[in-house]
Amino acid sequence: MSIEQIIVLAVVQGITEFLPISSSGHLILVPQIMHWQDQGIVVDVMTHLGTLLAVLIYFWRDVWRLIVGALNLLRGRVTDDGRLAIYIVLATIPAVAFGVFLKKFGYTDLERNVAIVAWNTILYGILMMIADMVGPQERTIANMTLGSALIIGVAQALALIPGTSRSGVTMTAGRFLGFTRPDSARFSFLLAIPATAGAIVFTVGDAVASGEGVTMDAVYCAALTFVAGILAIAFLMNLVRRVSFLPFVLYRMVLGGFLLVMLYT
C-alpha cells in the first residue's frame, strides 16, 4: 500500500471504530472513492489492534481496577470491580458464539457486502435515535447487573453483521436500559476489550495459517490507528456529556444513503 492509503485507512478506522457511525461502512467506502485496491482482512484486523490499544491506554484506570477485581475473585473476595469483570466476560460470550456460527457457515465475508452495510447503517442509526429519545439517563456502571450486561453483550454480537457499529449498537442497548450516555459509552469500550482481542487472535492466526502474513504496512496502520483512536475516544467521551446522539444518527443516514446510491447506480 502507498503511504497515503496507510494514513487514510488508519485515521478513518481510528475515528469510526469509536464513534457510533460504522467503521465497516467507511472501510468499504474509502477504497471505492479513492480507487484503491481493497486493503484486505489482515490490515482491517491490525487497525483493530490499534483501536484495542487505544482503549487499554485511555481507560487504563478502569482496566487496572478490573484486573485487581479479577485477582481478588481468585482469592475468594468478591468486590464491585470483580463483579463487573465477571459481567464483561459473560457478556462477551454471545459475540464469541455468533462469531463461531458465522465462521462455520461461511458468512465471514459479509463485511464486503455493500448492501448489508448500507441498510444496517441506516437501520441501527434509527434505533440509536429512538433509544436516546426514550431511554432515561438514570443508571451508571455502578448499577450494572448481570441481566443488563448480557443484553448489551447480545447487542454486541449483532455488530458482527457489518454496518451495525459495535460501539453504536452497544451504546444503543445501554440507552434503552436507562444508562447515561457517558456510562453507556464507557461500558461499551470496556466490553470491546475481550471481544476485539479474541477476534484479532483468531483472524491473524487464520491468515498466517493460510500463508497471508502480517506486513509492515499493516503494522504501520495499527500504530497510526492507535493515535487516531485515542483522540476519537477523548472526543466522544467529552461530546456525550454535553449532547445527544443525534449528530451521529444524522451522519449514519447520510453515509447509508451514499452507500445505497453508490451500490444501485
pLDDT at 106 over 80: no
Q: What is the pTM of this model?
A: 0.90
Q: Percentage of the chain with pLDDT > 70?
A: 93
Q: In this predicted model, which residue has the larger pLDDT, 256 or 9?
A: 256
Q: How confident is the model at residue 34 (pLDDT cuts 50, 70, 90)?
A: confident
DSSP characters over 97-139: HHHHHHHHTT-TTGGG-HHHHHHHHHHHHHHHHHHHHH--S-B
Q: What average pLDDT does range 73-96 have in this prediction? A: 94
Distance of alpha carbon 228 from alpha carbon 223, whole angstroms: 9
pLDDT at 127 over 90: yes
Coil, strand or helix: which one is 164? Answer: coil
Report the sign of the C-alpha dihedral through residues 231, 35, 33, 38, in that order. negative
Report the sign of the C-alpha dihedral through residues 42, 224, 39, 260, in that order. positive
Cβ-proximal residues to 38 (8 Å cutoff; 6+ apart), any chain: 31, 112
Among candidate residues 224, 250, 161, the one with its CA nearest the CA of residue 15? 224
Q: What average pLDDT does range 213-235 have in this prediction? A: 89
| Residue-level pLDDT at 250 | 95
Amino acid identity, residue 244? S
| Residue-level pLDDT at 112 | 63
| Residue-level pLDDT at 162 | 84
| Residue-level pLDDT at 263 | 85
Distance of alpha carbon 255 from alpha carbon 260, whole angstroms: 9
Report the sign of the C-alpha dihedral through residues 115, 109, 103, 42, in that order. negative
Average confidence score pLDDT of the chain: 88
Coil, strand or helix: which one is 17? Answer: coil
Q: What average pLDDT does range 111-117 have in this prediction? A: 78
All cell numbers assigned to 149: 450486561
Show the CA angle centred on residue 200, arms to residues 148 and 107, nearest 5°.
80
Among candidate residues 243, 249, 255, 222, the one with its CA nearest the CA of residue 52? 222
Q: In this predicted model, which residue has the larger pLDDT, 230 or 106?
A: 230
State pLDDT tens for residues 170-216.
Answer: 999 999 999 999 999 999 999 999 988 887 887 777 666 666 667 78
